[in-house]
């Protein structure tokens, strides 16, 4: 193993890295992987290229992430954590509309982030020919979000506020669609065509539609 690609695991020569150093190295590795995925695409980015750019050994990626799919999962989670800081929806005690408004605004901000749009373009372009990519993205992104919303809507005190005739299994998708709006606008235009105020106003209108559709009448 060359000196330009050192293992992150402890070595006798270098000594045991400090915890903060390990965290920093993992952060750098995830950032390098994310940049390469966006630049070259998921399929054309090799673990060797990521390891070389991040100055780690390929074995380190397998040990820490299980391979390229696990590393993509970490990239998606890192981007998600950067924009998405909602409270634990399993236990959040706030009123229904306050919780959903908070979630919707943060998730909408995530969807509008240039990196998120670029990553989704990569996934859309390659998912049909790369099932590993499609599954990794689904598990770390949309799947995790839908699971979180499903648990929230299943809470007894939340269900008591919702119409009894709702197809509850469809609520997460319905809410995400209301937040998402028309995704083609994001993917087909190089820059937002609406101001932040216009985007927020449109989101508020779609959320109003969601509330009218799902909440019991007072």
DSSP, res 165: T
In a domain, 111, yes or no: yes
Domain of 49?
19-74
The domain boundary, picked from 32, 52, 74, lies at 74
In a domain, 2, yes or no: no
The total number of structural domains in the chain stands at 2
User: Are residues 129 and 26 both part of a single domain?
Assistant: no
The domain boundary, picked from 44, 74, 104, lies at 74
Within a 13 Å sphere around the CA of 31, how many CA atoms are in the beta-carbon half? Answer: 9
pLDDT in the model for residue 16: 58
- In sequence order, the 6+-apart residues with CB closer than 8 A to the CB of 14 are 6
In a domain, 7, yes or no: no
Burial class (CB in 10 A: 0-12, 13-18, 19+), 62: middle
User: Are residues 57 and 153 both part of a single domain?
Assistant: no
The domain boundary, picked from 11, 43, 74, lies at 74
CATH (domain of 100): 1.10.357.10
User: Are residues 25 and 59 both part of a single domain?
Assistant: yes
Within a 13 Å sphere around the CA of 84, how many CA atoms are in the beta-carbon half? Answer: 21
User: Are residues 177 and 91 both part of a single domain?
Assistant: yes
In a domain, 8, yes or no: no
In tens digits, the chain (218 residues) has pLDDT values of 444 444 444 444 445 567 677 788 899 999 999 999 999 999 999 999 999 999 999 999 999 999 999 999 999 888 887 777 767 899 999 999 999 999 999 999 888 888 888 888 898 899 899 998 989 888 888 898 999 999 999 999 999 999 999 999 999 999 999 999 887 776 676 666 678 898 899 999 999 999 999 999 87
DSSP, res 169: G
Distance separating alpha carbons of residues 86 and 170, to the nearest angstrom? 21
In a domain, 79, yes or no: no
User: Are residues 91 and 153 both part of a single domain?
Assistant: yes
pTM of the model as a whole: 0.77
Report yes or no: 153 and 96 within 8 Å, Cβ to Cβ: no
CATH (domain of 25): 1.10.10.60
């Amino acid at each position: 193993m060359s000196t330009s690609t050192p293992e992150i695991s402890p070595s006798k020569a270098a000594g045991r890295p400090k915890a903060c150093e390990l965290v920093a190295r993992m952060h750098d590795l995830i950032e390098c992987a994310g940049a390469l995925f966006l630049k070259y695409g998921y399929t054309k980015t090799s673990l060797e290229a990521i390891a070389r750019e991040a100055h780690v050994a390929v074995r380190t990626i397998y040990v820490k992430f299980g391979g390229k799919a696990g590393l993509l999962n970490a990239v998606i989670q890192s981007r998600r954590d950067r924009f998405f800081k909602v409270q634990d929806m399993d236990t959040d005690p706030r009123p229904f509309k306050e919780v959903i408004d908070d979630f919707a605004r943060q998730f909408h901000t995530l969807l509008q982030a240039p990196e998120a749009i670029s990553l989704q373009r990569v996934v859309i372009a390659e998912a049909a020919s790369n099932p590993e990519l499609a599954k990794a993205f689904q598990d770390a992104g949309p799947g995790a979000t839908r699971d979180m919303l499903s648990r929230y809507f299943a809470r007894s005190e939340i269900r008591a506020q919702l119409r009894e005739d709702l197809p509850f299994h469809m609520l997460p998708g319905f809410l995400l669609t209301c937040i998402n709006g028309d995704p083609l606008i994001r993917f087909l235009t190089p820059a937002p065509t609406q101001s932040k105020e216009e985007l927020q106003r449109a989101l508020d209108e779609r959320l109003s539609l969601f509330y009218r559709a799902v909440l019991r009448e007072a």
